[in-house]
Amino acid sequence: MVEKISPELAEGTPFALFGHSMGAVLAFESARRLEKEGRQPAALFVSASQAPSLPWPPPGTPSAREADDAALTEDLRLLSEGASPVLQHPALLELARPALRADFLMLEGYEYTPGEELACPVIALAGDRDPRVPVDSVRPWEEETDSDFRMRVLPGGHFYFEDQLPQVLEDSSTGA
């Protein structure tokens, strides 16, 4: 999943990784790879993502392989709580659907491999109304680190940060 990471990353400068939704899995695999190379992140922030050890799609959720365009549109409506501007513009929706399907297919194809726990802290952020990533599916991120683990549940759905951006940025800068 993560093929190449810039060698300039972590040349003595502290850095953290942040990933939202599918990006959290990419950030996690990047952190694993960086730590193997001796370039440890200061922290890994995972947002709106179930722990990588849990199966995707969650039980009761249809596979993206089986979903037609209408089902993907409904999933976007559900994830965005109906507020996505993409839903109001058919041409944008046509452009967004393939990317949404690709994200879901990538998650479905991801094979978690148990390994050494991360040495960096993991900070998990979640929305209290996320229809695809319930809070109890975020807690197992704790098992991916032998360092500190903190979890912050904020008001909102899958895109909670749209209303909570100042809090997310504050949490990210303080590592809380």
Q: Categorise residue 55: left if φ over 0, alpha if ψ from -120 to 50, beta otherwise.
A: beta
Query: Which residue of the set 89, 137, 158, 172 is catalytic?
Result: 158
Q: Please confirm, yes or no, whether 89 is among the known catalytic residues.
A: no
Query: Does 158 participate in catalysis according to the annotation?
Result: yes
Q: Single out the catalytic residue among 20, 21, 47, 84.
A: 21
**Which residues are catalytic, by number?**
21, 158
